[in-house]
């Protein structure tokens, strides 16, 4: 008790040195508390973002594959192998009591064409011609003609800036075709043969305006119904989910707004969001750049307006600008020249008057999308699939990383992968039957290919080649079939009809599970520890001898999943530096204190104090400082964490939204955080005290007497 009393008295006597040492200990404890809460919260939030959106707790891939699965780092179809016997694997793993569900997956990227504005208008014109609606034909035709004129003007400007010698032959011919379509003679003869003119416009002209609608979309090929139910962050925004067992595509709302939305409208949205964050147009260079693009790219709006829409928009802009200017290009330019004072009014006017009269999204709910990709063998593949709607991962609306994933049905994904599904085989068989192609036997191939076929009779025209079918066609057949008849009678027509059948075809669960998949997500049941789940899955893989490798969500997420480890390393290094500095400062302070207390320590030795008692006295002083100041630091840190844990911190960029699992970050201190912080502070303090205590133990009564003299 006497030693404790002396230790406490010494701390109060040397207040300045105690305050210096105590301040360091408070700061160290505070840093540990804040760091542990940050890491623990990010780890928890990010696991929810990744696990409940696309990865699951565990991912399966083929054992021995060349590349390791990386959900967020994988661009395109890397060599991650194939899971062939998925039905058996799913059944076995889902039988484990720790597993909630197994979802087949495959991640890839492809180019998507949604049909440009000219395509849409040409389709409307064709429908009007078929319906015999002369008034509608005239309205749409004049709009198409103006669009062709604008396209011709753009291409002429392109010729002025580009090296024509380096232009491809297709590009050169395209420029010639657009110029021809812009001539009065082309439109004067339109009514004489509208379908021929439409065919020329659709096949030759529309492709010259296709660039704006080419998108690179990343998607997860999966059992869409199971995916929607298992990943609880998934929620629909527009449209409807893909019907169970059917083909379809869902676009992430983030991607839909960023890539598919009309460029002018999207820039206005970005300006509005930036202003809501407190920015000013007058001082924000990026906002100024968006405004400049909206002013110079006025054709993005004027290109889409027909005569009636032009009249309505022109009247609204003239009223807003208080001008009689009739040139739409100048009106749009002036209208888009926004400032802090008029932006909100013009933003509202744009969505009230302009947006309803243009194609606001390049791909709309219900549209048929054309997806162009490359199979694993390297050859190009193309599929058409219906876009059913948009979705989001709840809380990750603004996250670029989560927003990059779209959803595609598993059967279409296999088609793009180059996997020969039963559908694909049936389609090929139909096309072969329609075109008259038949397999030749090796022993009769020469006669079949080069024989004159004398004496052969065609008994069924449906099995004949095109030449044979023509030979038995009645002489009184019409010279030209109707467009509908031609579309139905040709292989292309059969393909279109077959595509329509595929759109409504419902696949059984056996069909979905029966084909190849690239990977599979395992979702564990609530409260099942990840390590326990991994151990159970790996044990089953070994028992069943499945050629699989199991990765936890961190490993499967690549660099993103390992980000927490990086934060741990940075924090650990920071704490190490702080503690190292603290050790030096505390050590120097205590050494100086020891030298100043030479007489006191020598006197204690003279009246019988042993060296171990001197050591104990210093250790008690260190212990008291560690407990008192460590507790203050922990209390301060806990208060800060509790405050922000209640109100949250704004996640001000896409990556932070993903890490925090939502627009706000709510830190929380794990239960073991306080003990760890206190123990760390105590250890540092005691280590810092060892050398000064050793010096004190060496002081003798003689030294005290000399110091007195």
CA separation for the pair 491, 431 (Å, rounded)? 6
Give the three-class secondary structure for 110: strand
| Residue 236 token pair | 């629909």
> 484-528 pLDDT, tens per residue?
333 333 334 444 445 566 777 899 999 889 888 999 999 999 989
Nearest to 342 by CA among 289, 298, 282: 282
* pTM for the model: 0.71
Element (H, E) at 61: strand 58-62
pLDDT (mean) for 394-408:
79
Token digits for 531?
């390590």
Find the Cα–Cα–Cα–Cα dihedral 279, 281, 286, 288, rounded to 10°: 180
Provide the pLDDT for residue 494.
Answer: 46
Instruction: Identify the top-confidence range among 501-505, 578-582, 644-648.
Output: 644-648
Residue 424 has pLDDT above 50, yes or no: yes
As a whole-number percent, the residues of the chain with pLDDT over 70 amount to 77
CA–CA distance from 228 to each of 223, 234, 235 (Å)?
9, 6, 8
Q: How far out from the chain centre does Cα 240 lie?
A: 21
Average pLDDT, stretch 302-322?
A: 91
pLDDT at residue number 458? 36
Going by their DSSP bridges, the two strands 249-252 and 380-393 should be labelled as parallel
pLDDT: which is higher, 159 or 97: 97
In a domain, 360, yes or no: no
Residue 457 region by backbone torsions, left for phi larger than 0, else alpha for psi between -120 and 50, else beta: beta
Work out how many domains the chain is built from and give that number. Answer: 1
**Confidence band of 355 (pLDDT split at 50, 70, 90):** very high
Question: pLDDT per residue over 241-299, tens digit each?
Answer: 999 999 999 999 999 999 899 999 999 999 999 999 889 999 999 999 999 999 988 88
Residue 629 domain boundaries: 2-47+562-708
| In the predicted structure, residue 331 carries a pLDDT above the cut 60 | yes
Is 338 inside a domain boundary?
Answer: no
Looking at the domain assignment, is residue 507 inside a domain?
no
How many Å apart are CA 601 and CA 621, to the nearest integer? Answer: 14
Residue 497 placed within a domain: no
Residue 631 covered by a domain: yes
Distance CA 323, CA 349 (A): 16
Question: DSSP labels for 200-229?
Answer: HIIIIIGGGG-GGGEEEEEEEEE-HHHHHH
pLDDT computed for residue 583 by the predictor: 74
Whether the CB-CB separation of 212 and 115 falls below 8 Å is answered with no
- Is the Cβ–Cβ distance between 3 and 616 less than 8 Å? yes
Residue 421 lies in a domain: no
pLDDT value, residue 365 = 92
Q: Does the pLDDT of residue 480 top 60, yes or no?
A: no
Q: Which of 564-573, 577-586, 619-628 has the highest mean pLDDT?
A: 619-628
pLDDT at 445 over 50: yes
**Do the domain assignments include residue 20?**
yes
Domain assignment of residue 276, yes or no: no
Residues 466, 467, 471: CA angle, nearest 5 degrees: 115
The average confidence (pLDDT) of the chain is 79
- The pLDDT score that the predictor gives to residue 487 is 33
pLDDT digits (tens, 9 = 90+) for 115-146: 567 877 888 899 999 999 998 999 889 888 88
Pairing of strands 368-374, 380-393: antiparallel
């Amino acid at each position: 008790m006497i030693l404790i009393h002396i230790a406490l008295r010494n701390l109060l006597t040397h207040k300045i040195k105690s305050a210096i040492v105590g301040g360091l200990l408070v700061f160290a404890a505070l840093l540990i508390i804040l760091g542990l809460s940050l890491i623990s919260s990010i780890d928890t939030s990010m696991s929810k973002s990744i696990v409940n959106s696309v990865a699951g707790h565990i991912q399966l891939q083929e054992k021995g594959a060349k590349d390791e699965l990386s959900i967020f780092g994988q661009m395109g179809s890397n060599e991650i192998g194939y899971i062939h016997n998925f039905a058996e694997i799913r059944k076995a793993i889902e039988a484990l009591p720790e597993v909630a569900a197994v979802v087949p997956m495959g991640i890839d990227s492809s180019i998507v064409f949604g049909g440009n504005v000219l395509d849409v208008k040409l389709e409307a014109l064709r429908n009007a011609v078929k319906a015999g609606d002369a008034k509608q034909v005239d309205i749409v035709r004049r709009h198409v003609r103006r669009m062709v004129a604008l396209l011709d003007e753009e291409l002429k400007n392109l010729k002025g800036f580009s090296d024509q010698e380096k232009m491809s032959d297709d590009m050169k011919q395209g420029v010639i075709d657009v110029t021809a379509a812009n001539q009065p003679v082309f439109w004067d003869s339109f009514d004489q043969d509208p379908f021929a003119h439409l065919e020329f416009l659709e096949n030759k002209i529309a492709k010259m305006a296709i660039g704006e609608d080419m998108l690179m979309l990343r998607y997860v090929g999966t059992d869409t119904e199971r995916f929607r139910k298992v990943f609880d962050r998934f929620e629909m925004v527009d449209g409807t989910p893909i019907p169970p067992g059917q083909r379809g595509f869902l676009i992430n709302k983030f991607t839909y707004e960023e890539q598919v939305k009309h460029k002018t409208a999207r820039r206005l949205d970005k300006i509005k969001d930036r202003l809501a964050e407190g920015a000013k147009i007058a001082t924000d260079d990026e906002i100024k750049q968006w405004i400049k693009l909206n002013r110079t790219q006025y054709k993005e709006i004027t290109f889409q307006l027909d005569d009636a829409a032009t009249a309505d928009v022109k009247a609204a802009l003239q009223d807003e600008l208080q001008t009689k200017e009739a040139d739409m290009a100048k009106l749009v330019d002036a209208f888009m020249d926004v400032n802090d004072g008029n932006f909100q009014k013009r933003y509202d006017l744009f969505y009230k008057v302009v947006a309803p009269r243009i194609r606001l999204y390049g791909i709309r709910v219900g549209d048929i999308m054309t997806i162009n990709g490359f199979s694993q063998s390297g050859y190009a593949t193309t599929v058409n699939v219906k876009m059913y709607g948009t979705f989001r991962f709840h809380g990750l609306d603004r996250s670029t990383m989560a927003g990059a994933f779209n959803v595609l049905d598993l059967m279409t994904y296999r088609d793009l992968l180059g996997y020969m599904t039963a559908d694909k085989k049936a389609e090929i068989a139909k096309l072969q039957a329609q075109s008259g192609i038949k397999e030749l036997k090796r022993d009769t191939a020469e006669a079949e290919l080069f024989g004159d076929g004398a004496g052969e009779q065609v008994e069924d025209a449906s099995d004949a080649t095109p030449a044979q079918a023509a030979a038995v066609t009645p002489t009184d057949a019409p010279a030209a079939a109707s467009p509908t008849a031609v579309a139905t009678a040709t292989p292309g027509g059969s393909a279109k009809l077959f595509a329509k059948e595929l759109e409504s075809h419902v696949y059984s669960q056996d069909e979905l599970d029966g084909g190849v998949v690239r990977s599979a997500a395992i979702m564990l049941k609530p409260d099942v520890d990840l390590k326990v789940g991994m151990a159970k899955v790996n044990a089953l893989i070994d028992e069943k001898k499945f050629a699989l490798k199991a990765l936890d969500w961190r490993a499967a997420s690549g660099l993103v999943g390992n980000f927490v480890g990086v934060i741990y390393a940075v924090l650990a290094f920071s704490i190490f530096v702080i503690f190292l500095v603290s050790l030096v400062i505390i050590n120097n302070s205590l050494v100086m204190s020891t030298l100043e207390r030479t007489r006191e320590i020598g006197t204690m030795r003279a009246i019988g104090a042993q060296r171990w008692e001197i050591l104990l006295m210093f250790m008690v002083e260190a212990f008291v400082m560690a407990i008192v100041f460590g507790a203050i630091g922990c209390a301060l840190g806990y208060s800060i964490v509790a405050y922000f844990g209640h109100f949250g911190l704004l996640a001000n960029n896409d990556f932070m939204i993903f890490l925090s699992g939502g627009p706000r970050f709510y830190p929380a201190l794990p239960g073991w955080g306080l003990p760890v912080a206190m123990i760390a502070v105590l250890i540092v303090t005691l280590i810092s005290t060892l050398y000064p205590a050793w010096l004190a133990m060496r002081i003798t009564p003689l030294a005290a007497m000399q110091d007195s003299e």
